[in-house]
Amino acid sequence: MPTPPLRVAVIGTGVIGAMTAWHLAARGAEVLALDAYGPGHDRGASAGESRIFRTAYKEGASYIPLLRRSYELWRRLESEADRALLTLCGGLTLGAPDHPDLRAVRGSAAEHGLDIEVLDAAQAARRFPQHRLDDGEIAVLDPRAGVLRPEPAVQAALARARALGARLLPYHRVTGLDERPGGGWRVRAENPAGEATYDADHVVLSPGPWSGSFARLAGLPLRGRRITAAWFAARDVAAHRPDRLPIAIRRHPEAGFSCFPVLDGTAVKIVPHHLPWPDAEAPEDLPRGADAGFARAASAAVARLLPGLVPHPVRIGVYAEAFSADEHALLGPLPGARDATLLAGFSGHGFKLAPVFGEIAASLVTEGKSAYDISFLDPARFGG
């Protein structure tokens, strides 16, 4: 008699949950994917038009093998979904050469033999006049970097999961998780028709900024934070498209931000790093804009460092993300539970790695192990 497929409930279908559902379905698991909202929604971290992909990684050289695999999987998803998701336009890290981020990018590139260019301020001004550098600053160019499209990426991964047999349940808010005495889980969820229960052999928790909604995660150092992005009109749109403007991470005593090329035909997006990212206890209650103080501060940063933009935002978006205590993800078995895998706390730099994180989660669920060293992401490191 054939062995029945493993029943897996994936809770949360932002980019991490979507990629996990795709990989699990490809392995023959019976996947049920639940989300409180619709696919590609704008309440969590998988929204906002653009995300950065980069290979020379300031967060640590341990990520480089994961990034290489993630690149392969992004291209695989594009091929399977017949949809463009990643544009390699290069990536800049700009600032003083002794800034920790600049040192980290160069160090990770040296350790793994990555091809980067280091430009002084004059060279950078000739190559990338869209950025204003001060004397003594440098730009590190990573040619294997680019821009991702988050909403299409989520929808593409979920479409592939569904084509492989996964069952998707949008607008199903999970209200309870109960371990069954004989193993596995009972999942309770509210939906437009009322409440329903679902049984699963294994649960994957990918709650994004809703980590605080799950009692089983209460002992882990996770907190939601608001991330605000602003779009500024380009005076010369052609000079700010991906073929001429790489993605960038700017470090400066007066301002710091991530910068994205024009994708909407009008504006460059920046995400300020030097302005507060307040706590977001209930992502569903996020404000849909920012106050005048934020707009003025973001405008000042643009006027100072991005001379080709009109220094007044034409659009503002507010999103939510879960941050861990050390700003590295929690990926592995859920402490204190059986048959449960946690993917949480990606701290603003998980999107680019989502395909490989989903592959790793599928391996942990179906095989109990991963081919990659993810010990530095073990949720048990916090003693939860």
Q: What CATH number does the domain containing 315 carry? A: 3.30.9.10
Is 2's pLDDT higher than 80? no
C-alpha 120/C-alpha 362 separation (Å) is 44
Do 296 and 173 belong together in one domain?
Answer: no
C-alpha 209/C-alpha 216 separation (Å) is 15
- Domain of 294 in residue numbering reads as 88-145+223-324
Lowest mean pLDDT among 28-37, 162-171, 228-237, 278-287: 278-287
pLDDT band at 104 (very low <50, low <70, confident <90, very high): very high
Tokens found for residue 166: 């996964």
Is-contact 303 297, C-beta < 8 A?
no
| CA atoms within 13 A of residue 32's CA, in its CB half-sphere | 19
> What does the pLDDT average to over 338-356?
97
Does 83 map to a domain?
A: no
In this prediction the pTM is 0.97
Do 124 and 188 belong together in one domain?
Answer: no
Count of domains forming the chain: 2
* Per-residue model confidence as pLDDT tens digits over 131-177: 999 999 999 999 999 999 999 999 999 999 999 999 999 999 999 99
pLDDT band at 19 (very low <50, low <70, confident <90, very high): very high
pLDDT of residue 142: 97
Q: Which helix (H) or strand (E) holds 104?
A: helix 100-112
pLDDT band at 383 (very low <50, low <70, confident <90, very high): confident
C-alpha 160/C-alpha 277 separation (Å) is 34
> In terms of Cα–Cα distance, which of 6, 138, 90, 50 is closest to 317?
50
pLDDT of residue 108: 92
Q: What percent of the chain has pLDDT over 70?
A: 99
**Which of helix, strand or coil describes residue 232?**
strand
Do 165 and 209 belong together in one domain?
Answer: yes
* Per-residue model confidence as pLDDT tens digits over 226-277: 999 999 999 999 999 999 999 999 999 999 999 999 999 999 999 999 999 9
Report the chain's mean pLDDT, rounded to a whole number: 96
> What does the pLDDT average to over 59-66?
92
Do 182 and 114 belong together in one domain?
Answer: no
pLDDT band at 330 (very low <50, low <70, confident <90, very high): very high
pLDDT band at 345 (very low <50, low <70, confident <90, very high): very high
For residues 286 and 163, the model is more confident at 163
Do 37 and 170 belong together in one domain?
Answer: yes
Does 61 map to a domain?
A: no
